[in-house]
Each structure stands twice: as C-alpha cells, then as structure tokens.
Amino acid sequence: MWSAPSHVLVLLVTLGLTAAEKKPNIVVILADDLGWNDVSFHGSPQINTPNIDKLVHDGIFLNNYYVSPICTPTRGALMTGRHPMQLGLQRSVILGDAPWGLGINETILPQYLSELGYASHAVGKWHLGFFAKELTPLYRGFDSYYGYYLGAEDYIDHTGWAQQGFWGFDFRDGVDLDRSANGSYSTELFAARAEKIIHNHDTNQPLFMYLPFQAVHSGNPPSTGANPLEAPKKYTDRFPHITDPNRKLFAGMVAALDDAVGNVTAALERRGILDNTIIIFSTDNGGPANGFDMNHACNWPLRGLKATYWEGGMRATGFIWSPLLKKSKRVSNQLIHVTDWLPTIMHVAGANDTYNKTELYGMNMWEVLSNDTPSPRDEIIHNYDKASGAIRMGDYKVIAIGPEASYTKSYGGWYKPESMNVTTLDLTVKCAERNESLIACNHTTSPCLFNVIEDPCEFNNIAEENPQLLKSMMKKMLDFAQVSQAPRNCPTEKRSAPVYHGRAWVPWIEIPEGAKEFRACKPYMADLAEEQVYQIRDNINF
C-alpha cells in the first residue's frame, strides 16, 4: 500500500490559475459495475479495499453522488459534461456490431485540456463507439491509448462477442491491435501501462490520465465456454471467508482493482507529482447483483441494481483525493452528478471562460468540494426514455417505470451479498422504517415518490400524500426530455463481423472527410419497435 507524503508542497495559492502557474495533474479512475457495498469504506465486511480506503479517508467521500444506470451514458456524460439525453445516449449501451456512439460533433475532455497544455492518456475500456475511426480515443484528443473498444470481453484472451454471435479480438496499443496482450490479466495490464506513462511523463507538462478499468464487469457468457468472472488465484485466496464461488471470484476482481489503484498512486509519488495531483474515482453505474448480467456485485442496503432507476443503479461509489483540497478527510453530502466533473476539472486546469458552459448540464463543484460549501445543484434528471425515467429534486425522487423498463420492474428488490447473513446495515446508509400504512409503489399504474434523504432504501412511496410535488417533478423531467436529442442507436450490422476483419473488432465505416456530424442511421429508426429494427437491420441503404 502506498503512503501519503509527510508534507504537502503548496504549489497553488488559488485555483484561479494563470498560464504562468503550475497546473495540477488530473487522474480519473473509472471502475466498471462496482457496487455500493463492494468496498470496505462503505462498510463492506466481506471485501477489503485498503488502497482505495486510504485515498477516501485522506480525501472526500462522495455520499450523495450519482451516475447513469448503465455504462455508455455515464462515459459520455463524464467526457462531455453534457447529459446523456443531450447526447442521444439515453437508450441502452453500444453493442460491438451497432454503428453508433458519442457524436463526432461533441468536444470531449482531452480536447479541451490539450488546449490548456495537458498531455492526455487513456488506458482501459472505451465503449463510446468505434464503427468509424473518428469515434476512437486517438481521434478525440488523447495522445495515447491502450485498451479495448467493446463494452465487455474476456479479461485474459481479450476476445468479445456481440448480439448476433459475432466473435473477435479487441485489444489495442494506439490504433493497432496488440495481440501480445493475450494471456495477461487486463487489470494488471492497465495498471502497468499507467505506471509506465507516469514514469515517462515530462513533469514540466500537466498530466491528464483517464483510467477506465475493465474491473469488475463480467466477461464473456458461459454459452461461449467462458467463465464470466475472472481473477487470478492470488487475489481470490485473500477471501477464504467467502464460500460462494461467484462472490469469491468477484471479490478477487475487486482486490485486483484495489491493488491497481495503489500501484498507480505509488507511481505518482515516485515521479514526484502526487503533491500536485487530483485523483477522482467513480463507478460507471451501480453493481449488477444477484447474478444479473452474469455478475455478483452488491448494493446493499440500497434498492435495485445496475440498469435500474432505483438508488442501487445510480447512487455511485466515488471520491476525490488531492492535497489541493482545502477541507478534506470528510464525507460530502452535497448533491453531485457525473456531468459535474468536466466543468470542475476545467476550472482547476485554468480554463476560465475558454469553453461554452451554457451547453453543459454539469456544474463546477471545486469550491463545493474544496471548501465544503453548499452545492449549486438541487436537481438531477437521471434519465427519461420510452416512458420510463427518474428525477431527483432536493430531497425527493420520482421514479416512473413504463412498459419497456423491464429491468427496473424486475429487479426492484434489496439484494444481500452471497455467503453472508447481513445483520447490520451499511455504515453510510441508514434505511428508514417501513411505513405499512402507505400505498406500496405500484409502478405499473403511476409514478412513485420517495424522500431519498430520509428513506435512501426506497421503502416508502409518498406519492399519494404529495400530488403537486409529484406533478411538478414529472413536468420537469418531461420538459427536459422534449428538448433532448433523439437516441443515436442504430440497428446491428453483419458487415461489422470480425470474420471480415481478420477476426478482430475494427472500425468498418468511413465517415466523409471533413464531416462535422455523422449518423449511420436515421434517428427515427431508433424509435421503432425492437422487432421492426431487427427485421430491417440488414436491408439499410448506406
């Protein structure tokens, strides 16, 4: 485990930076599918995460921080500071054989930071589209890229599949396939590359590192002959008290992630730049518990899981650490959204008014975090699509579940970790008492309303007692949906199949040179019924 330095160099008098002042290094670590109760700083007695805990205890634990319920929307929001509904990313995730992604018309974080003199590196999972090369990291402001484009794949042989059964290799060093990675565990590969970048970094230039780990997402499905959960024995051996084999494998994956965080932090210290670094850690969505998505995360005692609008799907494990924070070693209960990271990072990087803040959903939270001031944010529109969604305003949350929101309907329970009889609740969440006199949340007939400050476990539906509040919150969510971008989703395509591309996943569409925007399908197609989409997917005129 790394140890924080005994003294802190005060490099910045304020963070209203001028060009002559030294800009802070910024490291954004994104875990994949990490559940609320999969880390020991949230009180998990099952999985010990000492390196992550050390950063949290010396930094700021974000106890009221939200992301999207699935992967692609969160990553798009993080990279742009814009809401997934503004980006057309509000519906599902990008499949390997589907030609859509984060629009090339969007400016993303490394592009902004390069204008401020930063060296920018991405190491890990992309999942923002790759059907054309212009969507991939080296064409979007990163100076280097090491990782994979798909949403999921094997941790060791780095092959992944797609909806139509297509199968191929996906691991890159830059734009080139790196088949030498075959046989090595991705969490260790990504940590080693991050350490190498830090070691070779010119400290006269500020560093931005985006480190989206594969861990702890499931790999390939059992139908392919794979084990969806993969961790070397040296990690699973740390958990003899976990008897459930799937939960033990999951714990090993978390342990590998925790070691990687410690190794990267130690590399920053060895390079002599930790004192002037900001580390942001987040999960991309809630944990897939109870075998959902072939995984065994835990969000206990929060309700629901990944891909749902319950708190377990969106209330994120996250923290910020830096010696530059004036008031650290505390729990933050200020309301924060994943879109807030871009304007916050731009502020500490000295951007001032060099970018268009009016187009952002995110807000600058540096003063909020550093000085423990009230958050300017009093609402979060979580999402709205196909008559389903959720919105948070103040202490309250509305959840509306339409006919197609099968996950939110089917996975609205409270899921304890396997191999453990839970007798005490999470240290950071205190569930309310159940009020049996209230009408239970019947999402098939009307939206539900919860006070998620008093009732974070979403036991008590108070919609009937607060009709005007429910109505105003629904209107706010629907008004935002009305001015949002149409979903960018496109039908899958056989011409994407790796069998046509050397058995690897590669870009397969050429965007016209100089194009400012490009869609591989018409927006209205994304709103067709799913069976219609699959009927016409192979008959599109491109």
- Strand spans (E) along 90-158: 119-125, 144-148
Annotated active-site residue in 71, 298, 441, 521: 71
Beta bridge partners of 461: none
* Distance between first and last Cα of the chain: 54
Length of the chain: 542
Contact between residue 447 and residue 399 where contact means Cβ atoms under 8 Å apart: yes
Alpha-carbon distance of 62 to 49, in angstroms, equals 17
Structure tokens, 307: 């891909």
Task: Tell me which residue has tokens 């740390």.
Answer: 238
Q: What's the sign of the alpha-carbon dihedral 126, 129, 131, 136?
A: negative
Annotated active-site residue in 83, 121, 127, 443: 127
Q: Which is nearest to 25 in space by CA: 190, 287, 204? A: 204
Phi and psi angles of residue 253, each rounded to the nearest 5 degrees, phi first: -65, -40
Pairing of strands 65-66, 336-337: parallel
Q: Which is nearest to 408 in space by CA: 32, 67, 69, 33? A: 69
Alpha-carbon distance of 225 to 29, in angstroms, equals 31
71 in active site: yes
Alpha-carbon distance of 316 to 57, in angstroms, equals 17
Alpha-carbon distance of 539 to 46, in angstroms, equals 51
Alpha-carbon distance of 539 to 518, in angstroms, equals 19
Among all residues, which ones are annotated catalytic?
A: 71, 127
